[in-house]
Amino acid sequence: MVLNEDFQTRWWALQGKLIERFGKKPDLEAILYLIGIQELMVHKTEFTKEEKQDLMHIGICTVLASSGFYVLDGTDEEGWPHFTQLKELPVMDAIEQENFIKDHVVLYFDNTNF
């Protein structure tokens, strides 16, 4: 998968906004973690290691839901969202997979007017 110029420009612009807001350049995992926190909508500042992994999973499911890979089933009694995978992800190498997720992250932030 070759990155087109528009995608790369949009990715860098998103990173720039996140740097302005948080004071440092977040990697993809940190961005997925932030999306997970935003989607959790629970007022909590400390998370366990397992919860942090769960938040990244929420981030991935959330961004890929826009392409029909996941659907939100609802939330549990503690407010944690749960998803069902609707279709298999395409087979990709590591770089293609990262760019696929980055593209969905950019779309997520575009749709939330960040």
pLDDT digits (tens, 9 = 90+) for 83-99: 999 999 999 999 999 99
List of residues 6+ apart from 83 with CB closer than 8 A: 58, 61, 62, 65, 70, 71, 72, 73
Cα angle 106-42-89, degrees, rounded to a multiple of 5: 40
- Domain range for residue 47? 5-111
In the chain, the number of structural domains is 1
Top pLDDT among 31 and 41 is at: 31
pLDDT (average), residues 6-19: 92
HSE toward the beta carbon, residue 78, CA cutoff 13 A: 4
Q: What is the pLDDT at residue 3? A: 54
User: With pLDDT > 70 as the criterion, what percentage of the chain qualifies?
Assistant: 96
The pTM score is: 0.89
Instruction: Report d(CA 18, CA 15) in Å as an integer.
Output: 5
pLDDT in tens, 46-97: 999 999 999 999 999 999 999 999 999 999 998 899 999 999 999 999 999 9
